[in-house]
Structure 1
Amino acid sequence: MRVAVLGAGAIGAYVGACLQRAGVEVHLIARGPHLEAIRRSGVQVHSPRGDFVAHPHATDRPEEVGPVDHIFLGLKANQYASAGPMVQPMLHESTTIIAAQNGIPWWYFHGVPSEFQGHRLETVDPGGSVSAALPTWRAIGCVVYAATEISAPGQIQHLEGTRLSIGEPDGSQSDRCMEFADAMVAGGLKCPVEPDLRHDIWVKLMGNIAFNPISALTRATMLGICQNTATRELVVDMMRETLAVAESLDVHPQISIERRLNGAERAGDHKTSTLQDLEKGKPLELDAILGAVVELADLTRTEIPVLRAVNALADLLNAGIDPSA
């Protein structure tokens, strides 16, 4: 089996290192000092579960890799539309694209019968640009529960969790999902193939939709947001509205708001990925996390006044970011 990791950042490099440890032929697509460090010394994983070093092939030129069986996307969702030229050289007739993203995926209404079957969400697939670059029939969904960070170029700090749930948009237990999941498990990860990955998407989204934009707007950590009475109440309101949108789409997340809050509080002084991007001057990955839920609420005529207000503020913040500065 040949696997390419496009966007071999904290999660991508960790997954690639685990797969290579399982004997999979892995190719990491990275750039800059991170790429040079991997070429020189491999991916060095530091983990409470045990440190290890993997030496997958690493490059910044996908055409060097050629066709693979699976492409694991470690890119941010707001980079998907421009990923086509990087993906194309690595495709054969049955290559899958395993998208490890936060928020609502571009394939959300693909694969299952519903009144919205085939509907394109403008926030996550503007003008059809993402589905043109990443055809929905190739897509396998992925919800990441593992937490990692790049502590230095080529060095991945595994903080907690080893679960990455995957699933077909149509809910089937496909051979291609099982093949990838088996390799992930052999590499020391948990990789359940879920018959209803949309449930997992909404469970994780409950936290992201509240903590990510609030942290960017306030520069507060997860702990700070939870321990401030006003922002804690704001999180509860945002989660309630998110659950209402999920219910309107016949998805019923089986987790309480209080449990999600307690889990976030246990994360301590952790900066969300959105706050980290803001501090680096990068565009914020909030269309898939927040904007898409507002669009879904419009589609289902669900009242979400708090989410709309926070989305307006986050959009204004994002508009002021100049990534070239």
Structure 2
Amino acid sequence: MKVAVVGAGAIGAFVGASLHRAGAEVHLIARGPHLSALREHGVRVLSPRGDFTVHPRATSDPADVGPVDYVFLGLKANSYAASGPLVHPLLHERTAVVAAQNGIPWWYFHGLPGRHTGHRLESVDPGGAVSATLPPERAIGCVVYAATEIEAPGVVRHLEGTRFSIGEPDRTVSRRCLEFSEAMRAGGLKCPVETDLRDDIWIKLLGNISFNPISALARATMAEICRHPDTRTLVTAMMRETLEVAACLGSTPRISIERRLAGAERVGEHKTSTLQDLERGRPLELDVLLAAVVELADLTGTDVPTLRAIHAVADLLNRTTSRSLK
């Protein structure tokens, strides 16, 4: 099996290192000091499950790699539309793209029966730019339940979790999913193949849609948001509205709001990725988390006043932040 990891950051390098340890031919696409460290020292994974170091190939030029069986996307979803130069040299007729993203994916309605089959969400696929770059038929969905961070160039700190749920948009159990799952499990990761990954997407989204924008607006950790009575109430309202949208689309995630809150509180003084991006002066990944669900609410006629209010102020924050970067 030949795999290219596009965006070999914390999650991408962790997955690439695990697959390499299992015997797959892995190529990491990276840049800057991280790439230099990967080339010189390999990937060093520091984990409560045991540290290890591996030496997969690393490059900044996907043309050096050529066509692969699987592309694992470790990029933020707001980079997908512009990822063509990184992804296209890696594709052959049957190359699958494993998209490890938060939020609502661009392929959400691909292969989904019902009156919204094939519907394109403007917030996640503006003008069809993502679908043109990453055709939905290539997509394998992936919901990440692992937490990792780059401790230093070439060094990945694995904090918790090893589960990467994957699934086909059309709900089939395909050979390509089974083969990728087997390789991930051989590398020490959990990788169940789900017949409807959309339920997992909504479960993960319950936390991201609420904690991520609030953390950026309040500059607060997850535990601080949970401990503050009014923001805890706000999160509860956002989660409730999100579940109502999911139900209108036929998804019924099997998790209670209180259980989701309790899990978030256990994470402790953790800064969400959105808050970290804000502090580093990066664009905020809010379209797939928040704007997409507001768009889905419009599509289904669902009343989501809390989501709309938070979306308005978070979008303004993102716009003012983006202007300051120019």
**TM-score normalized by the length of structure 2:** 0.99
Question: 1:46 aligns to what?
Answer: 46
Question: 2:137 aligns to what?
Answer: 137
Establish whether residue 201 from structure 1 lines up as the match of residue 196 from structure 2. Answer: no
Question: 1:255 aligns to what?
Answer: 255
Establish whether residue 93 from structure 1 lines up as the match of residue 93 from structure 2. Answer: yes
Matches within 5 A, 1:1-150: 1-150=1-150
Counterpart-to-counterpart distance in 2, 1:65 and 1:217 = 41
- For residue 118 of structure 1, what is the amino acid of its counterpart? G
What is the SS of the residue equivalent to 2:113?
A: coil
Question: 2:243 aligns to what?
Answer: 243
* % identical aligned pairs: 70
- For residue 86 of structure 1, what is the amino acid of its counterpart? L
Question: 2:185 aligns to what?
Answer: 185
Counterpart-to-counterpart distance in 1, 2:250 and 2:244 = 10
Q: Give the CA deviation at 1:233.
A: 0.3
- Deviating above 6 A after TM superposition, structure 1's stretches of 4 or more consecutive aligned residues are none
Q: Give the CA deviation at 1:324.
A: 3.9
Gaps spanning 5+ residues in structure 1: where?
Answer: none
Counterpart-to-counterpart distance in 2, 1:33 and 1:314 = 32
Q: Give the CA deviation at 1:63.
A: 0.4
What is the SS of the residue equivalent to 2:99?
A: strand
Counterpart-to-counterpart distance in 2, 1:140 and 1:59 = 24
Counterpart-to-counterpart distance in 2, 1:82 and 1:321 = 20
Question: 1:295 aligns to what?
Answer: 295
Counterpart-to-counterpart distance in 1, 2:39 and 2:214 = 38
Counterpart-to-counterpart distance in 1, 2:201 and 2:4 = 24
What is the SS of the residue equivalent to 1:20?
A: helix
Counterpart-to-counterpart distance in 1, 2:325 and 2:213 = 22
What is the SS of the residue equivalent to 2:193?
A: coil
Do the aligned partners of 2:112 and 2:118 also contact (CA within 8 Å) in 1?
no
Do the aligned partners of 2:149 and 2:157 also contact (CA within 8 Å) in 1?
yes
**TM-score normalized by the length of structure 1:** 0.99
Number of aligned residues? 325
Counterpart-to-counterpart distance in 1, 2:173 and 2:117 = 20
Counterpart-to-counterpart distance in 1, 2:70 and 2:141 = 12
Counterpart-to-counterpart distance in 1, 2:13 and 2:165 = 17
Q: Give the CA deviation at 1:112.
A: 1.9
How big is each residue's C-alpha offset from its partner over 1:6-43, in whole Å with a ceiling of 9 and x where there is no partner? 00000000000000000000000001011111111000
Counterpart-to-counterpart distance in 2, 1:266 and 1:93 = 44
Gaps spanning 5+ residues in structure 2: where?
Answer: none
Question: 1:152 aligns to what?
Answer: 152
Counterpart-to-counterpart distance in 2, 1:124 and 1:51 = 37
How big is each residue's C-alpha offset from its partner over 1:130-186, in whole Å with a ceiling of 9 and x where there is no partner? 000000000000000000000111000000000000000011110000010000000
Counterpart-to-counterpart distance in 2, 1:58 and 1:86 = 13
Do the aligned partners of 2:151 and 2:157 also contact (CA within 8 Å) in 1?
yes
Quote the RMSD (CA, aligned, Å): 0.7
Question: 1:276 aligns to what?
Answer: 276
- For residue 37 of structure 1, what is the amino acid of its counterpart? A
What is the SS of the residue equivalent to 1:200?
A: helix
Counterpart-to-counterpart distance in 2, 1:180 and 1:299 = 34
What is the SS of the residue equivalent to 1:297?
A: helix
How big is each residue's C-alpha offset from its partner over 1:174-219, in whole Å with a ceiling of 9 and x where there is no partner? 0000010000000000000000100000001001000000000001
Counterpart-to-counterpart distance in 1, 2:142 and 2:104 = 11
